[in-house]
Amino acid sequence: MNKQKGWKEIPIGGIIAKAGTAKEYKTGDWKILKPVVDRDKCIHCLQCWMFCPDLCVIVKDEKIVGIDYEHCKGCGICASICPKKCIKMEK
């Protein structure tokens, strides 16, 4: 696999014209805030996993085990959807 490109290496204006190239970019370095899960409060309902548009919630054995920060864009959907309010968006 090619080395993934960060935000400084994408074309000026952020235009990525070629389709199917998400794996080539570290889209996670575009974010301002990152989701942090309070594992003590999490009930592993997996709603954050279902709603994440970038498949960044990492699940193993039906439990949340982490966030793929290299590709998470910090949209905050996971935090807004979480029924236990155990995801905080932090700098």
Residues engaged in binding ligand SF4 (CB under 6 A):
35, 37, 42-48, 52, 54, 56-57, 64, 67, 72-78, 82, 84, 86-87
The residues with which 64 forms a beta bridge, in sequence order, are: 59
Residue 31 amino acid letter: K
Q: How far is the CB of 6 from ligand SF4 (least distance, A)?
A: 17
Least distance in Å: CB of 59 to ligand SF4?
A: 9
Q: How far is the CB of 62 from ligand SF4 (least distance, A)?
A: 10
| C-beta of 10 vs 75, nearer to ligand SF4 | 75
Q: How many CB atoms lie within 10 A of CB 51?
A: 14
What is the closest distance, in whole angstroms, from the C-beta atom of residue 82 to ligand SF4 in the complex? 3
Q: Provide the total of helices (H) and of strands (E) in the chain, helices listed first.
A: 2, 4
Place of tokens 């190239």: 21
For residues 73 and 76, what is the distance between their CA atoms, to the nearest angstrom? 8
In the bound state with ligand SF4, the residue whose beta carbon lies nearer, of 12 and 60, is: 60
